Structure 1
Amino acid sequence: MSRRKAREMAVQALFQLDFNSGVTSEEALNSVLNEREDTNETTRLYAKSLVEGTQKNLEAIDEYISELSREWKIDRMAGVDRNIARMAIYEMKYSQEKLQPGVAINEAVELAKTFGTEDSSRFINGILGSIVKNKELL
Protein backbone atom coordinates (compact mmCIF):
# COMPACT_ATOMS: atom_id res chain seq x y z
CA MET A 1 0.00 0.00 0.00
CA SER A 2 1.16 3.48 -0.76
CA ARG A 3 -0.08 5.85 1.90
CA ARG A 4 1.27 8.80 -0.05
CA LYS A 5 -0.82 7.77 -3.06
CA ALA A 6 -3.84 7.39 -0.76
CA ARG A 7 -3.23 10.89 0.63
CA GLU A 8 -2.97 12.32 -2.88
CA MET A 9 -6.29 10.78 -3.83
CA ALA A 10 -7.90 11.90 -0.58
CA VAL A 11 -6.77 15.51 -1.07
CA GLN A 12 -8.22 15.51 -4.58
CA ALA A 13 -11.54 14.18 -3.28
CA LEU A 14 -11.62 16.64 -0.37
CA PHE A 15 -10.95 19.48 -2.80
CA GLN A 16 -13.91 18.36 -4.90
CA LEU A 17 -16.14 18.20 -1.83
CA ASP A 18 -15.03 21.66 -0.77
CA PHE A 19 -16.15 23.24 -4.03
CA ASN A 20 -19.10 21.05 -5.08
CA SER A 21 -21.70 21.00 -2.33
CA GLY A 22 -23.94 18.58 -4.23
CA VAL A 23 -21.30 15.84 -4.32
CA THR A 24 -21.11 13.12 -1.68
CA SER A 25 -17.85 11.82 -0.21
CA GLU A 26 -18.36 8.56 -2.03
CA GLU A 27 -18.93 10.27 -5.40
CA ALA A 28 -15.88 12.51 -5.01
CA LEU A 29 -13.66 9.62 -4.01
CA ASN A 30 -14.97 7.36 -6.77
CA SER A 31 -14.25 10.10 -9.30
CA VAL A 32 -10.62 10.21 -8.19
CA LEU A 33 -10.28 6.43 -7.84
CA ASN A 34 -11.63 5.82 -11.33
CA GLU A 35 -8.75 7.87 -12.71
CA ARG A 36 -6.25 5.57 -10.99
CA GLU A 37 -7.15 2.04 -11.90
CA ASP A 38 -3.70 0.74 -10.92
CA THR A 39 -4.37 1.44 -7.23
CA ASN A 40 -4.68 -1.56 -4.94
CA GLU A 41 -7.59 -2.11 -2.58
CA THR A 42 -5.64 -1.31 0.59
CA THR A 43 -4.63 2.09 -0.78
CA ARG A 44 -8.21 2.76 -1.86
CA LEU A 45 -9.52 1.90 1.60
CA TYR A 46 -6.97 4.17 3.28
CA ALA A 47 -7.93 7.04 0.95
CA LYS A 48 -11.57 6.43 1.82
CA SER A 49 -10.84 6.48 5.55
CA LEU A 50 -8.97 9.79 5.16
CA VAL A 51 -11.81 11.42 3.24
CA GLU A 52 -14.57 10.15 5.52
CA GLY A 53 -12.63 10.89 8.70
CA THR A 54 -11.71 14.39 7.63
CA GLN A 55 -15.30 15.12 6.61
CA LYS A 56 -16.68 13.69 9.85
CA ASN A 57 -14.42 15.94 11.96
CA LEU A 58 -14.48 18.94 9.64
CA GLU A 59 -16.05 21.42 12.05
CA ALA A 60 -13.54 20.77 14.83
CA ILE A 61 -10.63 20.70 12.39
CA ASP A 62 -11.65 24.05 10.89
CA GLU A 63 -11.79 25.52 14.40
CA TYR A 64 -8.16 24.50 14.99
CA ILE A 65 -7.09 26.04 11.72
CA SER A 66 -9.06 29.25 12.31
CA GLU A 67 -7.58 29.75 15.76
CA LEU A 68 -4.03 29.51 14.47
CA SER A 69 -4.39 31.45 11.26
CA ARG A 70 -5.76 34.67 12.64
CA GLU A 71 -4.67 36.67 9.60
CA TRP A 72 -6.54 34.42 7.19
CA LYS A 73 -10.12 33.30 7.43
CA ILE A 74 -10.40 29.66 6.49
CA ASP A 75 -12.60 30.41 3.49
CA ARG A 76 -9.94 32.80 2.13
CA MET A 77 -7.20 30.15 2.19
CA ALA A 78 -6.33 28.41 -1.03
CA GLY A 79 -8.60 25.37 -1.37
CA VAL A 80 -5.74 22.94 -1.79
CA ASP A 81 -3.89 24.29 1.24
CA ARG A 82 -7.02 24.21 3.36
CA ASN A 83 -7.75 20.58 2.51
CA ILE A 84 -4.17 19.40 2.97
CA ALA A 85 -4.10 21.00 6.42
CA ARG A 86 -7.48 19.49 7.27
CA MET A 87 -6.36 16.01 6.35
CA ALA A 88 -3.07 16.32 8.26
CA ILE A 89 -4.93 17.44 11.37
CA TYR A 90 -7.29 14.50 10.98
CA GLU A 91 -4.32 12.13 10.81
CA MET A 92 -2.68 13.65 13.90
CA LYS A 93 -5.75 13.95 16.10
CA TYR A 94 -8.69 11.83 14.98
CA SER A 95 -7.40 8.87 12.98
CA GLN A 96 -7.37 5.46 14.66
CA GLU A 97 -3.68 5.24 13.75
CA LYS A 98 -2.60 8.71 14.80
CA LEU A 99 0.47 9.92 12.93
CA GLN A 100 3.37 11.48 14.75
CA PRO A 101 3.26 15.23 14.13
CA GLY A 102 6.60 15.25 12.30
CA VAL A 103 5.42 12.58 9.88
CA ALA A 104 2.05 14.24 9.30
CA ILE A 105 3.64 17.63 8.69
CA ASN A 106 6.21 16.19 6.30
CA GLU A 107 3.54 14.37 4.31
CA ALA A 108 1.38 17.50 4.18
CA VAL A 109 4.30 19.64 3.01
CA GLU A 110 5.06 17.14 0.24
CA LEU A 111 1.41 17.20 -0.85
CA ALA A 112 1.52 21.00 -0.87
CA LYS A 113 4.59 20.90 -3.12
CA THR A 114 2.74 18.61 -5.52
CA PHE A 115 -0.70 20.23 -5.56
CA GLY A 116 -0.28 23.75 -4.21
CA THR A 117 1.36 27.00 -5.18
CA GLU A 118 4.93 28.07 -4.66
CA ASP A 119 4.05 29.28 -1.14
CA SER A 120 1.80 26.37 -0.12
CA SER A 121 4.45 24.21 1.52
CA ARG A 122 5.61 27.06 3.79
CA PHE A 123 2.01 27.94 4.66
CA ILE A 124 1.14 24.32 5.51
CA ASN A 125 4.32 23.92 7.53
CA GLY A 126 3.53 27.10 9.47
CA ILE A 127 -0.07 26.22 10.27
CA LEU A 128 0.65 22.64 11.29
CA GLY A 129 3.82 23.63 13.13
CA SER A 130 1.82 26.15 15.15
CA ILE A 131 -0.66 23.48 16.17
CA VAL A 132 2.10 21.18 17.38
CA LYS A 133 4.03 24.02 19.04
CA ASN A 134 0.92 25.05 20.96
CA LYS A 135 0.34 21.44 21.94
CA GLU A 136 -3.18 21.64 20.50
CA LEU A 137 -3.04 18.09 19.22
CA LEU A 138 -0.64 16.37 21.56
Structure 2
Amino acid sequence: MGGRRLSREMALKALFQIDLVNTNMEEALKYTFENDELLDEVKEFSFILVKGVLSNLIEIDKVINLSTNNWSLERITNIDRSILRIAIYEILFLKNIPKSVSINEAVELAKKYGTKSSFSFVNGVLGKINKEE
Protein backbone atom coordinates (compact mmCIF):
# COMPACT_ATOMS: atom_id res chain seq x y z
CA MET A 1 0.00 0.00 0.00
CA GLY A 2 1.31 3.44 -0.94
CA GLY A 3 2.36 5.89 1.73
CA ARG A 4 -0.29 8.47 0.91
CA ARG A 5 -3.06 5.86 0.85
CA LEU A 6 -1.97 4.62 4.26
CA SER A 7 -1.83 8.23 5.49
CA ARG A 8 -5.41 8.72 4.34
CA GLU A 9 -6.47 5.54 6.17
CA MET A 10 -4.81 6.74 9.36
CA ALA A 11 -6.41 10.18 8.97
CA LEU A 12 -9.79 8.51 8.40
CA LYS A 13 -9.43 6.46 11.58
CA ALA A 14 -8.47 9.54 13.59
CA LEU A 15 -11.27 11.72 12.18
CA PHE A 16 -13.78 8.91 12.73
CA GLN A 17 -12.74 8.76 16.41
CA ILE A 18 -12.95 12.53 16.76
CA ASP A 19 -16.39 12.57 15.16
CA LEU A 20 -17.74 9.57 17.05
CA VAL A 21 -16.43 10.05 20.59
CA ASN A 22 -15.46 13.73 20.43
CA THR A 23 -11.83 13.18 21.41
CA ASN A 24 -9.14 15.71 20.55
CA MET A 25 -6.81 15.52 17.56
CA GLU A 26 -3.68 14.64 19.53
CA GLU A 27 -5.34 11.75 21.37
CA ALA A 28 -6.96 10.41 18.21
CA LEU A 29 -3.69 10.47 16.26
CA LYS A 30 -1.74 8.96 19.17
CA TYR A 31 -4.23 6.10 19.41
CA THR A 32 -4.31 5.63 15.63
CA PHE A 33 -0.53 5.51 15.33
CA GLU A 34 0.24 3.35 18.38
CA ASN A 35 -0.65 -0.01 16.85
CA ASP A 36 1.25 0.41 13.60
CA GLU A 37 4.90 0.95 12.83
CA LEU A 38 4.49 3.79 10.40
CA LEU A 39 7.03 5.79 8.49
CA ASP A 40 7.39 9.41 9.55
CA GLU A 41 6.10 10.62 6.17
CA VAL A 42 2.91 8.58 6.65
CA LYS A 43 2.36 10.14 10.07
CA GLU A 44 3.21 13.60 8.74
CA PHE A 45 0.70 13.48 5.87
CA SER A 46 -1.95 12.00 8.20
CA PHE A 47 -1.37 14.90 10.58
CA ILE A 48 -1.65 17.42 7.71
CA LEU A 49 -4.97 15.88 6.64
CA VAL A 50 -6.50 15.73 10.12
CA LYS A 51 -5.35 19.22 11.11
CA GLY A 52 -6.46 20.61 7.74
CA VAL A 53 -9.90 19.05 7.98
CA LEU A 54 -10.44 20.24 11.54
CA SER A 55 -9.13 23.74 10.79
CA ASN A 56 -11.48 24.10 7.82
CA LEU A 57 -14.41 22.04 9.09
CA ILE A 58 -17.09 24.72 8.73
CA GLU A 59 -16.21 25.40 5.10
CA ILE A 60 -15.84 21.69 4.28
CA ASP A 61 -19.17 20.81 5.90
CA LYS A 62 -20.85 23.64 4.00
CA VAL A 63 -19.56 22.13 0.74
CA ILE A 64 -20.88 18.70 1.78
CA ASN A 65 -24.26 20.21 2.62
CA LEU A 66 -24.54 22.01 -0.72
CA SER A 67 -23.38 18.95 -2.66
CA THR A 68 -25.86 16.58 -1.02
CA ASN A 69 -28.97 18.65 -1.74
CA ASN A 70 -28.96 20.01 1.82
CA TRP A 71 -28.84 16.66 3.60
CA SER A 72 -28.04 17.16 7.25
CA LEU A 73 -24.56 15.95 8.16
CA GLU A 74 -26.16 13.59 10.68
CA ARG A 75 -27.92 11.80 7.83
CA ILE A 76 -24.53 10.80 6.37
CA THR A 77 -22.78 7.91 8.14
CA ASN A 78 -19.79 8.87 10.28
CA ILE A 79 -17.38 6.99 8.04
CA ASP A 80 -18.72 8.51 4.81
CA ARG A 81 -18.69 11.96 6.40
CA SER A 82 -15.04 11.53 7.42
CA ILE A 83 -14.07 10.24 3.96
CA LEU A 84 -15.79 13.19 2.29
CA ARG A 85 -14.11 15.65 4.64
CA ILE A 86 -10.64 14.33 3.78
CA ALA A 87 -11.28 14.39 0.03
CA ILE A 88 -12.86 17.84 0.07
CA TYR A 89 -9.98 19.20 2.13
CA GLU A 90 -7.57 17.84 -0.47
CA ILE A 91 -9.61 19.23 -3.38
CA LEU A 92 -9.99 22.70 -1.86
CA PHE A 93 -6.66 23.19 -0.13
CA LEU A 94 -4.00 20.76 -1.40
CA LYS A 95 -3.63 21.96 -4.97
CA ASN A 96 -0.56 19.76 -5.56
CA ILE A 97 -2.78 16.66 -5.49
CA PRO A 98 -4.85 16.09 -8.64
CA LYS A 99 -8.58 16.14 -7.90
CA SER A 100 -8.98 12.80 -9.66
CA VAL A 101 -6.50 11.23 -7.23
CA SER A 102 -8.34 12.63 -4.20
CA ILE A 103 -11.66 11.34 -5.55
CA ASN A 104 -10.27 7.90 -6.41
CA GLU A 105 -8.63 7.54 -3.00
CA ALA A 106 -11.88 8.52 -1.27
CA VAL A 107 -13.83 5.96 -3.30
CA GLU A 108 -11.29 3.27 -2.36
CA LEU A 109 -11.62 4.18 1.33
CA ALA A 110 -15.41 4.00 1.00
CA LYS A 111 -15.18 0.55 -0.59
CA LYS A 112 -12.94 -0.68 2.23
CA TYR A 113 -14.60 0.95 5.25
CA GLY A 114 -18.09 2.02 4.23
CA THR A 115 -21.37 0.29 3.52
CA LYS A 116 -22.26 -1.35 0.20
CA SER A 117 -23.54 1.94 -1.17
CA SER A 118 -20.84 4.19 0.34
CA PHE A 119 -18.50 4.20 -2.63
CA SER A 120 -21.19 5.29 -5.08
CA PHE A 121 -22.45 7.97 -2.68
CA VAL A 122 -18.93 9.32 -2.09
CA ASN A 123 -18.16 9.22 -5.80
CA GLY A 124 -21.38 11.08 -6.64
CA VAL A 125 -20.84 13.83 -4.08
CA LEU A 126 -17.20 14.35 -5.05
CA GLY A 127 -18.04 14.22 -8.76
CA LYS A 128 -20.53 17.03 -8.23
CA ILE A 129 -17.95 19.07 -6.32
CA ASN A 130 -15.35 18.44 -9.01
CA LYS A 131 -17.70 19.80 -11.69
CA GLU A 132 -18.39 22.91 -9.63
CA GLU A 133 -14.73 23.63 -8.88
TM bracket, shorter-chain basis: over 0.9
Given candidates 104, 107, 124, the residue that maps to 2:105 is 107
Normalising by the residue count of structure 1, what TM-score does the alignment of the two structures yield?
Answer: 0.91
Distance of 2:131 and 2:91 partners within structure 1: 13
Q: Superposition pairs for residues 8-23 of structure 1, below 5 Å? A: 8-21=9-22, 23=23
Q: Superposition pairs for residues 32-111 of structure 1, below 5 Å? A: 32-36=32-36, 38-70=37-69, 72-95=71-94, 97-111=95-109
Q: CA RMSD in A?
A: 1.2
Higher helix share: 2
Q: How many residues align?
A: 132
How far residue 71 of structure 1 moved from its aligned partner, in angstroms, is 5.7
Normalising by the residue count of structure 2, what TM-score does the alignment of the two structures yield?
Answer: 0.94
> How many percent identity over aligned positions?
40
Query: Corresponding residue for 2:127?
Result: 129
Q: After the TM superposition, list the runs of 4 or more consecutive aligned residues in structure 1 that deviate by more than 3 angstroms.
A: none
Q: Is the 8 A contact 1:92 1:98 kept in 2?
A: no
Distance of 1:34 and 1:26 partners within structure 2: 12
Q: Is the 8 A contact 1:88 1:105 kept in 2?
A: yes
**Any gaps of 5 or more consecutive residues in structure 1?**
none
